[in-house]
Every structure is written in C-alpha cells, then in structure tokens.
Structure 1
C-alpha cells in the first residue's frame, strides 16, 4: 500500500485550496507500507482525515495515524476473516464484513479487539458496506440480491429491499438519500425517511460497455455526480439529478477484470483509479479527460485508490500500502 501526497496538507473543506491539473500532476509517493502478506481488500479514512484503517485477505486489520504516517494498531480477525472495513463515527470502532463462517456483518472495538454486535441476515457474500455520513445508520448489499439498512445500536435489520439482482449502494453526502444500482442498467434513488415506499427516481443508464459489471457506487462530495465503478476498463460518471451519462472514463488498463475502486478528490474535481498495470490515472470530472498518470512500485492489479476526505493525500493498495 502506498500513500501519495502533494507535500502540503489540504485545509479542511471550508478552507480547502483549489486543486488543478497542474498540482494533481505533482503528486509523489510519500511512504510505502509493507505489513500484509496477502491482498489488501479495503481502505477507509476517518471523517476527520486523521486516521486510516485497512483490512486484508490475510485476516489482518491495521490502523494508521495520518499525521505521523505510522502504524497505530494491529488487530486480527482470524476466525471470521475481514473485508470492507469501515470506521464508525468513533474511530475506536469499525464495522466489517466476514469472509469465513458466514456472511454476518460485525461491529468491532479496535480498542480491545472485541466484537460489540453482530448483524446477521445476509445469506451470501456482502459486496457493499456504506456508513451514513451523519449518524450510526449503514447500508449493506449482497449477492443474495438484497439491500439491508442497519443501525449500529441494534442487531435487527431496520429495512430490507429485495431487488432481483446483485445490487450496489451508496449514501449521498448529506445522508438523506441513498442510491441503489441494479442489473448494471438502473440507478434507483431512495429517501431514507420513506424508503419503504420505493424509489422516488429511477434512471436508466446507457449500457455502452456491456461487458462491464458494476462493482460500487460513489457520490461526489458535492452530491451532483454518481460514479459507477466496474470490473472493466470504464468508469461512468452520472448526473445525480437526472441520470444522464456525463462521461465514460477510459484509458486505464483492467485486463484482469478487477473490481476497481476509484475515488473522488475532496473537492470533487478529479477521479483517481488504479489499473492492472500498477499505474494510477487521474481524470477531470469537468471534462472527462485523463489529466495525470503515475508509475508506482505496486505489483500489477492495483485495485484500490482512496483519497483522504480532508487532506491532499491519497492511499493506493495492492499487497502493500502506499501513501501519496
């Protein structure tokens, strides 16, 4: 895993410096971290940008301090495995999916490595886990063709939607609505306060890359754009208000058909994605054009690129973690 940065911290959003084509091209690798023996399967920053957590196929969980760049804690989930780990709003706790035993979601205290609560219900692999940006609610979606709504304070599912196909889901930045992507063709928008009434909007998405399977949805920080990540060589940017296709972001290699996890920069002006070549590519959200390309010392199949929500810093992960 690497972390990459410009050299100067971005200020909190209210005072954030404007990113540009020129300064995103100046990103350099700041630190390479080689703690894992197998693939890192998820990376997540805390809301304040001061901490980062990772999970790996070797059943390990690492917590990092972003000011020092040092490992702060290592815990393991040898019995249940771990993937899709996410901070709760308290950085001492995290929620994650299981890779062993069953498909229960687990709420973990990082302080003493004890489970606080279990969330049973899914009968097949969970493919999406998304915390609300404003409270203790979170979403999960699964190969069992359901989306479930949960509250960290109760093990009981708060809402269940059967969608008839593998779904992907994401909260908007305000935590008021969530989007569900189904059948690789539609995005449905739900009001969290009345999701049981069904979607208030349904968008048909142009299927011009039929061999690409949707792997995740991400709202831009401003909420105006929805990014559709895929297992192909195309990332789609969709207008969040009318569902129109804004751009197909192409030019990054993905011949292994990895489920790439691209990320918006904190100001929403750029998208960064890894590739099967180990390179990182940057695209302009305004034009859809590729504006940056970086060689890294990653192994091929660089699947995850994640921007810190508060600082000019990006993490990229394969078996190792790199801070940029």
Structure 2
C-alpha cells in the first residue's frame, strides 16, 4: 500500500477520494472538528456534549469525554496533542465559563476563561505561541493567552464575527457585518486593522475564514452559500464557487495543504472539489451523510474529515483503502 504525499496531489487523486472510515455513534449533530497541526489526531464536539479524540493514521477512536455541565461547541487543539480549547453551550448569559482549556489525557479542566455573554461561533489558536482568539454572538472578538485567565484584548464590532490566524501567526483576520474582512498584525492589534477587504457585490455574513498553508490565499464561506478564494495580500478575488442552499445547516469549506484545491459541502448533500488554478470543478461526491456541516483537510495527510448529524467520515484516496 503506497502512501500518497500531499505534495503529489492532482485532479486524479482528488477524484479518487472516498470514505475510508465511518463513525456513527454520535447522538445529534457534530458541532465542530479540528486536526492537530503535527500529530495524527482529530478532535470533535457534539450536541451530545461529547469531546472525542481520534487517531487518524489508524482510523480509531481513542477517547470520549462528556461535558454535561458546560456542553461542547467550538473546539481546537493547542500545541500539545492532548490539550484542547472548547467553548461552552450553557449558562453563558450568567457569566459562566464560555471557554475551557481541557486536558484529554486525564480529563481535567486546566483553566476557565470568562467574558463572552453569548455563544462562541469562531475559535482558533495561534500556530506560534499560546495565544488564541474567540468570536462570539455578543459582537466581540477576544484575544487570550492559555497561561492567563484574564482576556488579553477585546475587539468590539458589528455582526457575527469570524476569526482566523494565518499559518505564520503574524496576521489574523476578523470578519464583520457587510462581508468585510479586517486584517490585524498579531503583535500590535491594538493599533487597529492594517487592511480591509470586501468581496465585491456580496455583503453576506462570512461563516468561516481559512488561510492557505503558504499564507498567500484566504478561503471565505458565506451565509449565501458562496465560497471565495482571495489573495491574502491585496484582497483580490482569485475565484468564487457556489453550492446549493442549506437553510438549516452552515456549511464549511477547506483548502488542501498545497493550497491548490477547495473542498466544500453543499445543501444537496454532496461534497465538491474545485481546482483553484483552473477555477474548474474537479470532483462531486455523494457525502453519504447528508449536508456536511463540518469539513477540514488534515494538515499533513491526503485525507479530509466530513461530519454532519450523528456521523463522522474520513476520506482518503481509494488506492490506500
């Protein structure tokens, strides 16, 4: 069995992707998933208050923890492969812990973070230090340090905020009302944004932002079911794609590690792949799980994960099954 490298991706390999593992032991929707940057691990959260840790190299569930008191919504890994940051779903308006720093190794909460008054809808960790960011329906973006309980910085804005660090940790992007993207220097964000991008003609809320690994492109997924790839330096639209409406489910899209392809869910229950250089559709698959609300490509493997209500799937090239 030959293992395909992420540097070898081409249209044929993308088209050959199929389900290599399926997990259906969730109750309710899977809220979020995240890959560790360097370890072969994936973490998920679900409406059943579960946090689950998977070995992606072997397609195995390693551990499940339940969080009945706080719930489990957004999630992302820290640098340590057994530590995650998880947002809460309960008692937020009473000033409860909106974010928790959890050890999956021994199921302990290492630190609580209070501040947000409504649900956290976007969460990301810095790739270079102990900083992380959260965007909430309370119209704030908060900047934190894993080592300190207190919030390190607050950005107040209009609309539903989405946050993302670039892969070098030097810049972060924040979306706000009217489809605007503001870019900040991570080291001096208190001076305000150094640039603002708009996707011409589309003022829909931006549900998700991702930077490509080389930092040259940004991927936006909007409430209007449009997907855009922007030049991360000047905001110029490189290409745009549309998918079927998904009125009850937000969809997610993802770059491949080489930044040459975009994969996305769709309201019709399919998954789609496009080539960025040619701006053409390369593949269309039946997701076999309905509308995929969570979708991410593994950082170092030819593999992506897609999840929906009750089901998580790992997709790999069929020559490795």
Establish whether TM, by shorter chain, passes 0.5: yes
> Aligned ranges for residues 48-127 of structure 1 at < 5 Å?
48-102=38-92, 104-127=98-121
Which residue matches 1:233?
Answer: 225
Q: Deviations over 1:252-271 (max 9, x none)?
A: 22242522111111111111
> For the residues of structure 2 that align with 1:131 and 1:10, how far apart are their CA atoms?
28
How far the C-alpha of 1:288 sits from its partner, in A, is 2.5
Contact 2:265 2:272 in 1 (8 A): yes
TM superposition score normalised by structure 1 = 0.92
Aligned residues: 310
Structure 2: runs of 5 or more not aligned: 316-321
Which residue matches 2:143?
Answer: 149
Q: Deviations over 1:239-283 (max 9, x none)?
A: 111111222112x22242522111111111111011222211001
Which residue matches 1:289?
Answer: 280
> Aligned ranges for residues 231-270 of structure 1 at < 5 Å?
231-250=223-242, 252-256=243-247, 258-270=249-261
Q: 1:233 to 1:112 in 2, by over 3 A?
A: same
> For the residues of structure 1 that align with 2:188 and 2:205, how far apart are their CA atoms?
29
> For the residues of structure 1 that align with 2:39 and 2:11, how far apart are their CA atoms?
23
Structure 1: runs of 5 or more not aligned: 1-6
Q: Secondary structure at the match of 1:83?
A: coil
> For the residues of structure 2 that align with 1:305 and 1:282, how far apart are their CA atoms?
12
> For the residues of structure 2 that align with 1:17 and 1:240, how far apart are their CA atoms?
22
> For the residues of structure 2 that align with 1:273 and 1:27, how far apart are their CA atoms?
13
How far the C-alpha of 1:10 sits from its partner, in A, is 4.3
Which residue matches 2:307?
Answer: 317
Q: 1:217 to 1:107 in 2, by over 3 A?
A: same
Contact 1:231 1:257 in 2 (8 A): no
Q: Secondary structure at the match of 1:184?
A: helix
Q: Secondary structure at the match of 2:13?
A: helix
Contact 2:39 2:81 in 1 (8 A): no
> For the residues of structure 2 that align with 1:67 and 1:248, how far apart are their CA atoms?
33
Contact 1:264 1:271 in 2 (8 A): yes
How far the C-alpha of 1:31 sits from its partner, in A, is 1.0
Q: Secondary structure at the match of 1:237?
A: strand
Q: CA RMSD in A?
A: 1.5
Q: Secondary structure at the match of 1:17?
A: helix
Which residue matches 1:3?
Answer: none
Q: 1:83 to 1:8 in 2, by over 3 A?
A: farther
Q: Secondary structure at the match of 2:70?
A: coil
Q: Deviations over 1:62-84 (max 9, x none)?
A: 11111221111110111100011
Which residue matches 2:23?
Answer: 33
Matching of residue 173 in structure 1 with residue 164 in structure 2: no
> For the residues of structure 2 that align with 1:30 and 1:156, how far apart are their CA atoms?
43
TM superposition score normalised by structure 2 = 0.92
